[in-house]
């Protein structure tokens, strides 16, 4: 059960953030509306939401997931792999310290984005991507094993972040797309397979009694509902334009 969530309001500079998509420039007003609906969904799921003000200096900083890895007993402040995003951790460190006494840090030359980390029970999968390197992954693995967790490093072939293509819903059930559909590390789990045309929907989040999914992906929604989960659909168009998904917009603990 998640009791708390942290979000960061998109700043006016959000429209100038990093992106590899070809979906056009975000509409800030629309992004703020979608972010507000996201916060309301987190509240509906039963979490207390901490809202951090936006920071003009960091256009991508609304994607707070990349700044930390949170567990019940300790936090790990990441070291984001994009130079323009690295300073985002300073705003978030202050917030995270208000909730955690035990805090670890990923240190250079290691880089790590929280979007590359997926927890399934006592195991954390750590993706090697353009933003998370082997040094950072090994640092996190060492921290996790010190604390009694298991760490498994996964090389990404195509996805931007690990959680771009996989989500854990609980009950040994995962949502998978693309390269993770037949990936040997995930074959022991019950799979909900996202069709190629709905790949974006693989980035969904289970928050207590609900699975929050992006709107407009009916096949994936139907499969998740058929598996016994209640869903909340949210419009995500303005965050998809900046390579962002549902998991990226919050830290859940």
Estimate to the nearest angstrom the gap between the alpha carbon of 4 and the chain centroid. Answer: 15
Known catalytic membership, residue 183? no
Active-site residue identified among 35, 45, 161, 204: 161
The torsion angles phi and psi of 177, rounded to 5 degrees, stand at: -140, 165
Name the DSSP letter for residue 24: -
Task: For residues 80 and 61, give the distance between their C-alpha atoms in angstroms, rounded to a whole number.
Answer: 11
Provide DSSP, 159-211.
-SSGGGSEEEEETTEEEE-GGGTT-GGGTTSEEEEPPGGGGGGG--EEETTEE
* CA nearest to 119, candidates 74, 167, 175, 183: 167
Q: What is the token pair recorded at 5?
A: 């969530």
Active site residue 90: no
CA angle (124, 64, 29) in 5-degree steps: 140
Exactly one of 35, 45, 204, 248 is catalytic; name it: 248
Residues facing 119 on adjacent strands: 124
Distance CA 229, CA 175 (A): 12
Contact between residue 152 and residue 124 where contact means Cβ atoms under 8 Å apart: yes
Q: Alpha-carbon distance 133 to 112, whole Å?
A: 7
- Tell me, what DSSP letter sits at residue 19? -
Q: Which residues are catalytic?
A: 161, 248
């Amino acid at each position: 059960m998640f009791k708390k969530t942290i979000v960061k309001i998109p700043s006016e500079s959000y429209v100038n953030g990093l992106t590899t998509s070809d979906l056009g420039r975000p509409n800030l007003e629309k992004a703020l509306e979608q972010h507000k609906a996201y916060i309301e969904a987190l509240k509906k799921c039963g979490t207390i939401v901490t809202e951090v003000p936006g920071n003009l200096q960091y256009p991508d900083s609304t994607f707070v997931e990349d700044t930390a890895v949170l567990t019940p007993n300790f936090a790990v402040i990441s070291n984001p792999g994009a130079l323009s995003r690295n300073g985002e951790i300073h705003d978030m460190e202050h917030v995270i310290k208000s909730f955690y006494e035990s805090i670890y840090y990923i240190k250079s030359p290691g880089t790590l984005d929280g979007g590359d980390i997926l927890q399934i029970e006592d195991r954390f999968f750590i993706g090697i991507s353009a933003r998370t390197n082997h040094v950072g992954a090994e640092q996190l693995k060492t921290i996790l094993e010190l604390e009694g967790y298991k760490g498994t490093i996964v090389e990404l072939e195509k996805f931007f972040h690990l959680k771009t293509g996989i989500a854990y819903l609980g009950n040994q059930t995962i949502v998978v797309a693309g390269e993770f559909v037949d990936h040997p590390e995930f074959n022991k789990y019950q799979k909900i397979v996202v069709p190629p045309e709905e790949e974006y929907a693989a980035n969904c989040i289970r928050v207590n009694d609900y699975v929050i999914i992006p709107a407009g992906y009916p096949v994936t929604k139907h499969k998740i509902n058929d598996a016994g989960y209640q869903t909340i659909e949210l419009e995500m168009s303005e965050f998809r334009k900046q390579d962002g998904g549902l998991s990226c917009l919050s830290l859940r603990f």
